[in-house]
Amino acid sequence: MSLLSLGYLAWDPNSPNQVEIDEGVETFGDSSPSAAQPPHIIFIMTDDQGFNDIGYHSSDIKTPTLDKLAAYGVKLENYYIQPICTPSRSQFMTGRYQIHTGLQHSIIRPRQPNCLPLDQVTLPQRLQELGYATHMVGKWHLGFYKKECLPTRRGFDTYLGSLTGSVNYYTYSSCDGPDLCGYDLHEGETVAWRHKGKYSTHLYTRRVRKILANHDPKAQPLFIFLSFQAVHTPLQSPQEYIDPYKDLDNVARRKYAGMVAAVDEAVRNITYALRKYGYYKNSVLIFSTDNGGQPLSGGNNWPLRGRKGTYWEGGIRGLGFVHSPLLRRRRRVSNALVHITDWYPTLVALAGGNSSMTEGLDGFDVWEAISEDKESPRYEILHNIDPLYNHARSGSLQEGYGIWNTAIQASIRVGDWKLLTGDPGYGDWIPPQILPGFPNTWWSLERHLEPKKSKWLFNIATDPYERRDYADERPDIVYELLARLAFYNRTAVPVRYPSEDPRADPSLNGGVWLPWVEDEEDEEWYDSRQTEQSDWRRKLKLSQSMSLLKSLQSKLLSNWI
Write the CB contacts of 546 (distance below 8 Å, at least 6 apart in sequence): none
Provide φ and ψ at 66, rounded to 5°. Answer: -60, -40
Going through 275-355 in order, the beta strands assigned E by DSSP cover: 283-289, 320-323, 332-334, 338-339
Half-sphere exposure of 357 (CA within 13 A, CB side): 21
Active-site residue 141, yes or no? yes
Distances (CA, A) of 309 to 153, 234, 253, 351, 476: 29, 17, 19, 33, 29
User: 387 near 423, Cβ under 8 Å?
Assistant: no
Amino acid at 178: P
Active-site residue 85, yes or no? yes
Distances (CA, A) of 412 to 204, 312, 393, 399, 415: 35, 11, 21, 17, 10
What is the 8-class DSSP label of residue 105? Answer: S
Q: Which of 341, 384, 330, 381 is nearest to 365 (CA)?
A: 341
What is the 8-class DSSP label of residue 297? Answer: G
Peptide bond into 260 cis (omega under 30): no
Alpha-carbon gap, residue 280 to 13, rounded angstroms: 25
Amino acid at 256: Y
User: 453 near 347, Cβ under 8 Å?
Assistant: no
Provide the CA 96 distance to its chain's centre, in angstroms.
Answer: 13
Q: What is the three-class DSSP state of 487?
A: helix
Which H or E run contains 226? strand 222-227
First to last CA, the chain: 76
Alpha-carbon gap, residue 496 to 511, rounded angstroms: 27
Write the CB contacts of 60 (distance below 8 Å, at least 6 apart in sequence): 245, 248, 253, 257, 432
- Of 135, 141, 339, 383, the catalytic one is 141
User: 110 near 176, Cβ under 8 Å?
Assistant: yes
Q: Which of 336, 259, 316 is nearest to 75 (CA)?
A: 336
User: 257 near 52, Cβ under 8 Å?
Assistant: no
- Of 85, 115, 149, 181, the catalytic one is 85
Asked whether the CA dihedral 358, 363, 364, 368 is positive or negative, the reply is: negative
Q: Which of 492, 471, 489 is nearest to 418 (CA)?
A: 471
User: Which residues participate in catalysis according to the annotation?
Assistant: 85, 141
